[in-house]
Structure 1
Amino acid sequence: MSRHDRSSGKNSKPSGNRGNRSSGKSYSGRQGGGQKKKSYARGNAPIKKNMEKSPLSNSEGIRLNKYIANSGVCSRRDADMYIAAGNVTVNGKTITEMGYRVKLEDDVRFDGRRLNPEKPEYILLNKPAGFFVTGNPEKGGRTVMDLVSKATSAKVSPVGKLDNQAKGLLLFTNDGTLAKKLAKPKNGIRQIYQVNLDKSLSNEDLEKIQGGVYIEGSKVAITSISFIEDKPHNEVGIELYSIKEHIVTRIFKSLGYEVESLDRVVFGGLTKRDLPRGRYRNLTEQEVINLGMH
């Protein structure tokens, strides 16, 4: 029983609270019961009005300040201040209304930078052959999303592509800023591939590739290329920064070679160490920072 409940009975002793020592009638009059009720109603009126102005119901979206807080920019309280100051836009429109609601697919920006209301996720997969990276062009074909479906509930996407029969490292994330940065051709990212060719690579062609190969009129710079130690000369390692689609296959095809198997063993500073084929792991905080520096 609460303190107020104990003091409401006829035989209860005064509690020492000035209002409670008086009768119920005195309590109402002394505290300005009518005024208090009027003030209470007046205080709620703006909230109701704002809720009516909000474009989305609870089932259709979340409050803008929560969306911003979930993105990791700041707390909800600070988000309200930034909203009022005009720092936030939704689908290109500056929003200053408190209680405004948004959908997850809306384009919400803070000082021009698009926000993601989900916790950023970074997952590295060692892709086996036989999995499509995008789409499912063949009936019954499997995609890499099948392999990472249990890794997170967030909506992650692969960064870059690997052919269906290609193997090796593939990064998934819902961090659109990082994904976009890694996908910019001018940035590039360090990649090392182990390549099996349909025939031995001649020393002459190896030197040609080392000097850079022109693909569709554009020169592709090669960091290094070499035969794999103690392996036949149809097995080579190649390092480059280009993120053009099918670039390794196209390089060798331009010189008359077919790629029989392709394995990406390094992506940025990430390697396959302790990551068996078909398995995935989350990146460490330092690995994420390192990727962002590319």
Structure 2
Amino acid sequence: MERLQKVIAHAGIASRRKAEELILQGKVTVNGEVVKQLGTKVGPNDVVEVNGIKVEKEAPVYFLFYKPKGVVTTVKDDKNRKTVLDFFPEVTERIYPVGRLDYDTSGILLMTNDGEFANLLTHPKYEIEKTYIAKVKGIPTREHLKQLQKGIRLDDGLTAPAKAKFLSANKRKNTAIIELTIHEGRNRQVRRMFEKIGYPVMKLKRERYAFLDLTGLNAGEWRPLTPHEVKQLIVLAKNGGNRR
């Protein structure tokens, strides 16, 4: 017997938190009866439906995707822009992105149909590190990098301490390459942090996600995560991330 929201999450329909919302909204039935109790447990012979559609249990799958710039991190887009799912035509499972990368940002993005796994990696309290390489207009001073490290006051509050590393500069073009590591996932956070200190981002790439990198992949390509990598990510999240 498993909790109802866990069954829905494992089927790839929604994250566990979203599944709980669907239950509370009366959109889930078990054996034809509406169930609104979050503690409800179901067995393998119970028929679970969400919005009238039967839940079919899928085997969990996990992918590491090198998202190109100019691709939307959604399952579908009302403006008919290219989405991350367009790169997985042969995958039959109902996968979706773990977290987000904005339209103009490239780099590592995880894809899965495991709602619990996605929730674990995106919940702020688990503090999974993400490392970005940013090309910025202007050449930040050491003092500005210290501001990034201490936290930047944005419209939605103070950012958590980050790791900032100066990589290179082009004085002729007045640009710099900065490595920034954060463990939050606010909307366009890295871009907003640099804008706040006066160095707008010209180009942005997520280079690492925890211990994972893009080795062996070109933009638009993906590979399955190994079972060991999946276990490592789960352990890492439950242990509070990989910050030192």
For the aligned pair, the TM-score class normalised by the smaller chain equals 0.7 to 0.9
Between 1 and 2, higher relative CO (CA 8 Å, sep ≥ 6) is seen in 2
Partner of 1:261: 203
Q: Is 2:60 aligned against 1:120? A: yes
SS at match of 1:130: coil
Partner of 1:244: 186
AA paired with 1:169? Answer: I
Q: Taking structure 1 as reference, are residues 97 and 221 closer, same or farther at Cα in structure 2, changes over 3 Å only?
A: closer
Shift in Å at residue 105 of structure 1?
A: 6.6
For 2:44 and 2:179, the matched residues in 1 are separated by: 57
Shift in Å at residue 97 of structure 1?
A: 9.7
Q: In 1, are the aligned partners of 2:133 and 2:180 still within 8 Å (CA)?
A: yes
For 1:229 and 1:96, the matched residues in 2 are separated by: 56
Q: Where does structure 2 lack aligned partners over 5 or more consecutive residues?
A: 1-6, 12-28, 238-244
AA paired with 1:194? Answer: I
AA paired with 1:271? Answer: D
1:21-60 aligned at under 5 Å gives the runs none
Q: In 2, are the aligned partners of 1:168 and 1:265 still within 8 Å (CA)?
A: yes
Q: Taking structure 1 as reference, are residues 258 and 229 closer, same or farther at Cα in structure 2, changes over 3 Å only?
A: closer
Partner of 1:188: 127
Q: Pick the structure with greater CA Rg.
A: 1
Q: Would you identify which runs of 4 or more consecutive aligned residues in structure 1 move more than 4 Å?
A: 92-100, 104-108, 229-233
AA paired with 1:198? Answer: K
Shift in Å at residue 203 of structure 1?
A: 2.2
Q: Is 2:84 aligned against 1:144? A: yes
Larger relative helix fraction: 1
For 2:206 and 2:88, the matched residues in 1 are separated by: 18
* Pairs aligned (count): 201
1:101-180 aligned at under 5 Å gives the runs 101-103=47-49, 117-134=57-74, 135-138=76-79, 140-150=80-90, 152-180=91-119
Shift in Å at residue 136 of structure 1?
A: 2.2
SS at match of 1:291: helix
Q: Where does structure 1 lack aligned partners over 5 or more consecutive residues?
A: 1-67, 73-88, 109-114
TM-score scaled by length of structure 2: 0.72
For 1:221 and 1:284, the matched residues in 2 are separated by: 31
Larger relative strand fraction: 2
